[in-house]
Structure 1
Amino acid sequence: MASGKNMKAANDTYSGFLTLVKVGTISSIIAAVAVVMLIA
């Protein structure tokens, strides 16, 4: 398990990963809706 300074770095990395997943999910949904609107 990480300790001290390594734990802070691990938390920062995980926080960045979660942000990336959230932004990626929203972007994918927007792109899918745009494609559906173009087809319809």
Structure 2
Amino acid sequence: MADRSEVAYTTAGGNDYPAHEQTYEGFIMLVKYGTATVALVLILMAFFLT
């Protein structure tokens, strides 16, 4: 059996955590504004199409 006590991604060299965090923050911002945009479109459709 292999010794699996050490997780590879935490010890791997070359991990760029600042870039990872920047990408994650961009994704969260996209989801937030995308959700708000879809909600606004639905509200406007409900108002103008009824």
Give the TM-score band, short-chain normalised: 0.7 to 0.9
Higher helix share: 1
- The amino acid across from 2:41 in the alignment is A
Q: Distance in 2 between matches of 1:32 and 1:26?
A: 10
Q: Which of 19, 23, 35 is the matching residue for 1:9?
A: 19
Matched residue of 2:37: which SS?
A: helix
Amino acid corresponding to residue 21 of structure 2 in structure 1: N
Percent of residue pairs bearing the same amino acid type = 28
Q: Which portions of structure 1, spanning 4 or more consecutive aligned residues, are displaced by more than 6 angstroms?
A: 2-5
1:34 to 2:44 alignment: yes
Alignment gaps of 5+ in structure 2: 1-8
Which structure 1 residue ranges, 5 or more long, are not aligned? none
Residues in 2 aligned to 1:8 and 1:39: alpha-carbon distance in whole angstroms: 46
Tell me the number of residue pairs that the alignment of Structure 1 and Structure 2 aligns: 40
